[in-house]
Structure 1
């Protein structure tokens, strides 16, 4: 087992294998990227309490020391002023299992392709070019997923959800208060569910998509760029239809907000048009 106590900016290289990464930070910025080289940890800013790093049996743990007397998230918020921001960047193999959490700040994860779990209380989450199974939860703030594949689940209580260039086979996006904006390029038999309580949903898919579509809103307007999707206003606004062979599923539901389904043009060879 190897361990480090980081009290000032420092760069480390871990030569032993890493198959799992666990990060627990209080306040600051975390950037996790995939690499083909050795595992690297770059701490560029440290608060009054050190950053603790441990490595054993293929598991790399990075955390901020919390001190005594903390009790759950409420204790974290009460003590935030005592813990200045830290900046940590970690480069690990793409197949690393990652479990990343932060109380307040910005978290970026990119290039991982097996399983990634992200949890932030207040701040911002950005996910780029991930694969495998990805789950991201944030209480207050936006979450963005760019070029993500595999199985994707995004949830925010108060904040916006943005997906772009997504080719995930399964998408679950949910927000209590906030908009959902999606640009999807999903494969056949994909399963997409978008839900918001208070906010709008805008989703764009290829015009040659194979999806069974169902759109529902309790209070709002539904618009569609596909003539195959027919809209009814009684008893509540809803739209249903089948695109292509209908092998996949697109369900979108808003309690208070509008839903827009847009078509992205492609040419005869299936290439997107500008």
Structure 2
């Protein structure tokens, strides 16, 4: 089993095939990209604790040698951040199974096309051009999904969720405290579920979309750019709206406990105008 202990900036290239990627880092920056050629690991910055790189039975593992036992208790002293800091970029075949975990820092995943799982405690997640099944969870911080296709699950306790430019299939996005912003193409046959406890939801879809829509807020206001989606009560603030756009082949469900919901219509011609 090839294994490397990396205690300084270093580049590694693996000639053996890689079918799965497992990353367990404490703090820093992690960039994972699906690309042609052999798998590569590039460590550009590292603290006092080394990073272990292992390859066994097609599984590439990148991890800190030893995680802190109680990171939440000592983190604010700044010592753990300096000890376990690592900035790592990893290139792997696009069809790998990826399981990426980072306690504190920023994580970017792009170009992966099979199944990707991302888990960050505090920091930021950016997903770009992913395919297949994608699930991302963060406790504190924002998560962005740009140009993602396939089934997508996004979850944050405290932070914003942004979803744009994706040909999504099934989408589930949830925040406890934070806004949700979606800008989608016509999700024909897709199912989109958006929910937040405290925060606003803004959804923009094309005018020619095919969606069955249901919007609900317990404390807030609902506005719609589609005349087909109307409130069920004409008295006071609208709290529940529903309707069918086009054929209704897809489904859009949005719910906010404390916050407003806005459904916006994007002109079809706007897509052509945005092209160079």
Give the Å deviation of 1:38.
1.2
Q: By how many angstroms is 1:65 displaced? A: 1.7
Cα displacement (A) at 1:252: 0.3
1:142 counterpart residue number: 142
2:259 is aligned to: 257
Alpha carbons 2:186, 2:210 under 8 Å: kept: no
Q: 2:248 aligns with which of 235, 243, 246?
A: 246
Corresponding residue for residue 56 of structure 1: 56
Separation of aligned partners in 2, 1:162 and 1:266 = 21
Give the structure 2 partner of residue 232 of structure 1.
Answer: 232
The Cα of 1:66 is off from its aligned counterpart by 1.9
Alignment of 1:35-54 (within 5 A): 35-54=35-54
Gaps of 5+ in 1: none
In 2, Cα distance between the equivalents of 1:271 and 1:217?
30
2-structure distance, mates of 1:260, 1:273: 24
Partner in structure 1 of residue 202 of structure 2:
202
Which is further off, 57-66 or 224-233?
224-233
Which deviates the most, 123-132 or 225-234?
A: 225-234
Contact between 2:147 and 2:164, CA under 8 Å: does it hold in 1? yes
**Coordinate RMSD, CA, aligned:** 1.6
1:2 match: 2
How far the C-alpha of 1:272 sits from its partner, in A, is 4.3
> Which residue number corresponds to residue 167 of structure 2?
167
Query: C-alpha offsets along residues 152-193 of structure 1, whole Å, 9 cap, x if unaligned?
Result: 000000000001102111110000000000001143110000
Name which of structure 1's ranges 140-149 and 76-85 shifts more when overlaid on structure 2. 76-85
Residue of structure 1 equivalent to 2:158: 158
State the secondary structure of the residue aligned to 1:78: helix
TM-score (norm 1): 0.94
In structure 2, the partner of 1:125 is 125
Q: What is aligned with 2:180?
A: 180
Contact kept? 1:48, 1:83, Cα under 8 Å: no
Report what 1:26 is aligned to: 26
Secondary structure of 2:135's aligned partner = strand
Q: 1:111 to 1:180 in 2, by over 3 A?
A: same
Q: Partners of 1:196 and 1:271 in 2: how far apart?
A: 29
TM-score normalised by L of structure 2: 0.93
Which residues of structure 2 form unaligned runs of 5+?
none
Is the counterpart of residue 82 in structure 1 residue 84 in structure 2? no
Q: C-alpha offsets along residues 67-104 of structure 1, whole Å, 9 cap, x if unaligned?
A: 6x72xxxx122344234221000000000100000000
Moved more, 75-84 or 197-206: 75-84
Contact 2:190–2:250, Cα closer than 8 Å, also in 1: yes
